[in-house]
Every structure is written in C-alpha cells, then in structure tokens.
Amino acid sequence: MFDELPSTTRVSPFALTPEDLATRHPPNDPAYLFRRLLRVRTWREGLPDLGSEGRAHVDAHYDLALPEVISQSSSDDGSTKLLLRLADGAEIEVVHMPRAVKNPRVTLCISSQVGCGMGCRFCATATMGFRRQLTAAEIVAQVLVATRELGPEDSTRITIVFMGMGEPLQNLPEVSKAIAILADERGLGIPVGRITVSTSGLVPQIDTLAQLPVRPCLALSLNATTDAIRSSIMPVGKTWNLQALREALLRFPLRSHEKITLEYVLLAGVNDSDDDATRLAAFATGFRHVVNVIPWNAWEGVPYTETSEERLQAFVKRMQDAGVLVTVRRSRGRDVAAACGQLVRAQEKNRRSPRLPVML
Ligand code: SF4
C-alpha cells in the first residue's frame, strides 16, 4: 500500500501525537496527518490527500509499516485470532471479538509484551517467558491491523482490553502512551471507558495507573481468595498479598458508573469452593465492582482441570446471594486457542503447521 524506503532513518508515527509530529520532521498539517494515520479506513484504502510533496515527506521520515499478519484463525463463536509478526520477527497475538449482530461492537484483546514473565501457572503465555516490551507504536498498530482486516471502520465501536500477551503494568510507560493515542479524539477516539487494562496485581503500578491523565479502566486478575493459593498459582502473590491488593483497589479513583473488574479463572478443586465464593464476595465489597468468572480452558502439561458446570453455577449463586455483581465469561475463541490463557498455544501450533494465507 505504501512505498518502502530504508526504515533506518524513519520512525513509526503510530504513537506520535500531532504535537509530536509538529516537532519531529513536521509535515504541513500535523493534525491532519495524525487524523489520517489513526483512521481505520486509511489502512483499507491508503493514505489520501497528502499531495505528492506531502507524501514524499511522509515516506522520507516516517515508517508506515504495520505488523505482518502471519495467520488468522476463526472460531465458531465469531472471534478471530490474528498472529502478527513485528519488524524484529517477534510474534504477538490479537483477538478480534464481535459482540452483537445488531448495532455491532468489537472487543479487541491486545498484547502489551512479547511473552510474559509473571509465571501464572494456569496461563499458556507464561510458558514463553518474557521476551521484550512492546512499544506504544506496536500496541497502537495492533488495533490498526485488526480493524483493517476485520472492522469495524467506526472506531467508536471498538472496545480494547489489555488481556492478551503480557503484564501491561510492567510496560506502563508504553501502554499509557498507546492509550492516550487510542483515546485521542483527533484520531481513533476510543473512549477511555472502553479501554481496560488487566493486571496480575502490581500494587505500585496500580497506583500509578490511577493518576494517569488519560486513565483506562482497571481489571484485576485475582483468581484466588487466600494468599497461599494465590501465591501457588500466581507468583506475584508472594510480593503483593490480597490485603495490599484490596487496599489499592479501595483507593483507586472511579469515575461515575465505572467499576473495577475482578477476573476469576476457575480451577477445579483449587479455587472454586463455596468458601472461595464467600471470601471473593468479601474481597469485592467496598468498591464498585463486577466479578468476571472465567471457566478455565484446559491445556496439556498443566496440573489443573476444568470446573464442572454444576460447581460453576453453585459458585456464582453463592456470590450473587451475597450481593455481588457476577458475570460468567465463556471464553471466546476457544476452538482456535484464542481464549484466556491460551494465546501461546496457537502460536506454537502455527510453528508446526503450514501458515494460513495472509488475509488481515
Ligand atoms: S495470566 Fe497474564 S500476567 Fe499471568 S502469565 Fe499470563 S499473560 Fe502474564
């Protein structure tokens, strides 16, 4: 779509605000260029209206290459996993999840790191280990690639969740820069109320997130109700215990109608007892919340099993009886390994099987 020049002298513009553009090889109209770059239609139809001089300027100074789409895998439930290759060859994944046929909206589950070093025992991504941080431009580019291929063109219909590869709060400088770009009304204009950062529970970084000028919503991947169990399945629990986490959530400043999401992956016989439900309900009191119960997706080599439907229902009912707002997230994209905690499995599988034709 765009001419290629050696990229050594060029920078990616996807994390540059109009003000940044104005100070770095300023184009004629930085706000115009920003608006054009941060627009889904541009990546479907090409950069219009820059004039030959403007186009030459952009090509000379800015690297407009988006990540290469290596494969896409569609699930029966309508979600699609995109495997992307970055400029240095690193691979990350984005999951595209349409949500309603009428008045369609799309949730994009995006990555913040290549791999992850947090070591959660139930998570397939953890098996990769940490490889590197994503740049803000690479984070924004995931959104551009996914929407270019699968929509929606109207960016106000996009919801972003940082629940793909990586612990976003370990990469807060780049994640926060990307969020500011994604939310900038001069570009994609995705409301901050529709951008959620999910953390495994890094207390100091939760406090830092709370102070961001462009602050996203917060989700905590909780997954246990005692420190002993949490530490055994999430090593971060040895550093920040449940009390410290809860105190961080209690002081997190919520906008009106905003809730903190508590994500709770159910592991049979580990964290799904009635007592766990009671303790979870107690943990969630004192701040506006929604508890997102996630039936775990079993994968080979992990000593956990899936909670039965009966136990799931009993767990949910006990919390509801205690006045907790609960939703059950049936993981989407399960059959393409795009569901929660499954991302790397598809990547490993792709290495072993022929690559799908690039469509995205
Ligand atoms: S659950 Fe999240 S924080 Fe934990 S290892 Fe997986 S990607 Fe990292």
Rounded to whole angstroms, the Cα distance separating 311 from 319 reads 13
Q: Let me know whether 44 and 89 are in one domain.
A: no
Residue 44 in any domain: the answer is yes
Residue 56 in any domain: the answer is yes
Share of the chain above pLDDT 90, in %: 74
Q: Let me know whether 55 and 87 are in one domain.
A: no
Write out residues with Cβ below 6 Å of ligand 1.
Answer: 116, 118-120, 123, 125-126, 165-167, 200, 221
Single out the residue of 210, 106, 206 nearest to residue 155, CA to CA: 106
Q: Which of 39, 61, 83 is the last residue of a domain?
A: 61
Q: Let me know whether 56 and 78 are in one domain.
A: no
Q: Is the pLDDT at 259 greater than 60, yes or no?
A: yes
Residue of 19, 45, 93, 185 with catalytic role: 93
Minimal-distance CA residue to ligand 1 atom 6: 123
Rounded to whole angstroms, the Cα distance separating 59 from 52 reads 10
**pLDDT-derived band of residue 299, with 50, 70 and 90 as boundaries?**
confident
Reduce the DSSP state of residue 62 to 3 states and report it. strand
Q: Let me know whether 211 and 102 are in one domain.
A: yes
The pLDDT value given to residue 298: 81
- Ligand 1 centroid to Cα of residue 99, in Å, is 24
The pLDDT value given to residue 359: 21
Q: Let me know whether 332 and 257 are in one domain.
A: yes
Q: Let me know whether 316 and 226 are in one domain.
A: yes
Distances (CA, A) of 219 to 19, 63, 180, 242, 352: 31, 33, 18, 15, 34
Determine which of 108-117, 149-158, 254-263 has the lowest per-residue pLDDT on average. 149-158
The pLDDT value given to residue 49: 67
Rounded to whole angstroms, the Cα distance separating 84 from 37 reads 19
Radius of gyration of the chain from its Cα atoms, rounded to whole angstroms: 21
Which ligand 1 atom is the nearest neighbour of the CA of 234?
A: 4
C-beta neighbour count of 58 within 10 angstroms: 23
Residue 291 in any domain: the answer is yes
Domain that holds residue 342: 68-352
Q: Is the pLDDT at 55 greater than 90, yes or no?
A: no
Is 109 noted as a catalytic residue in this protein? no
- Ligand 1 centroid to Cα of residue 18, in Å, is 34
- Ligand 1 centroid to Cα of residue 67, in Å, is 23
* More reliable by pLDDT, 208 or 301: 208
Single out the residue of 96, 176, 102, 165 nearest to residue 136, CA to CA: 176
Contact between residue 161 and residue 110 where contact means Cβ atoms under 8 Å apart = yes
Q: Let me know whether 91 and 218 are in one domain.
A: yes
Which ligand 1 atom is the nearest neighbour of the CA of 164?
A: 7
- Ligand 1 centroid to Cα of residue 120, in Å, is 6
The model's pLDDT over 95-117, given as tens digits with 9 standing for 90+, comes to 999 986 666 799 999 999 999 99
Residue 357 in any domain: the answer is no
Rounded to whole angstroms, the Cα distance separating 1 from 37 reads 13
Query: Which of 131, 200, 264 for mutating ligand 1's site (highest number of atoms within 8 Å of CB)?
Result: 200
Q: Which of 40, 61, 82 is the last residue of a domain?
A: 61
Q: Let me know whether 57 and 72 are in one domain.
A: no
Residue 96 in any domain: the answer is yes
Residue 2 in any domain: the answer is no
The model's pLDDT over 315-360, given as tens digits with 9 standing for 90+, comes to 999 999 999 999 998 766 666 555 455 565 445 444 433 222 222 1
The model's pLDDT over 36-50, given as tens digits with 9 standing for 90+, comes to 899 988 888 877 667
The pLDDT value given to residue 56: 87
Is the peptide bond between 152 and the residue preceding it cis, with omega within 30 degrees of 0?
yes
Q: Let me know whether 297 and 319 are in one domain.
A: yes
| CA 51, chain centre distance (Å) | 36
Q: Let me know whether 343 and 326 are in one domain.
A: yes
Residue of 68, 109, 340, 348 with catalytic role: 340
Q: Which of 44, 61, 78 is the last residue of a domain?
A: 61
Q: Is the pLDDT at 210 greater than 60, yes or no?
A: yes
Q: Give how many domains the chain has, as a whole number.
A: 2
Q: What is the average pLDDT score of the chain?
A: 88
Residue range 110-131: mean pLDDT, rounded: 94
Residue 48 in any domain: the answer is yes
Residue range 54-67: mean pLDDT, rounded: 90
Write out the H or E segment, with its range, that includes residue 220.
strand 217-221
Which tokens is 265 given? 């992956």
Q: What is the CATH number of the domain that holds 273?
A: 3.20.20.70
Is 340 noted as a catalytic residue in this protein? yes
Quote the strand ranges of 51-205, DSSP E.
Answer: 68-74, 80-85, 91-98, 106-109, 113-115, 130-133, 158-162, 195-199
**β-pairing, 130-133 with 113-115?**
antiparallel
Q: Let me know whether 48 and 174 are in one domain.
A: no
The pLDDT value given to residue 221: 96
Hunting for tokens 């001419």 — which residue is that? 3
Residues facing residue 98 across a β-bridge: 106
* More reliable by pLDDT, 72 or 5: 72
> Cα angle at 28 between 22 and 29, to 5 degrees?
70
Contacts of 268 (CB under 8 A, 6+ apart): 304, 305, 306, 307, 308, 311
Distances (CA, A) of 192 to 47, 169, 185, 260, 329: 27, 16, 11, 14, 22
* More reliable by pLDDT, 306 or 338: 306
Rounded to whole angstroms, the Cα distance separating 90 from 73 reads 19
Contact between residue 199 and residue 86 where contact means Cβ atoms under 8 Å apart = no
Residue 360 in any domain: the answer is no
Contacts of 5 (CB under 8 A, 6+ apart): 59, 60
Q: Let me know whether 323 and 342 are in one domain.
A: yes
- Ligand 1 centroid to Cα of residue 124, in Å, is 8
The pLDDT value given to residue 355: 27
Minimal-distance CA residue to ligand 1 atom 7: 166
**pLDDT-derived band of residue 177, with 50, 70 and 90 as boundaries?**
very high
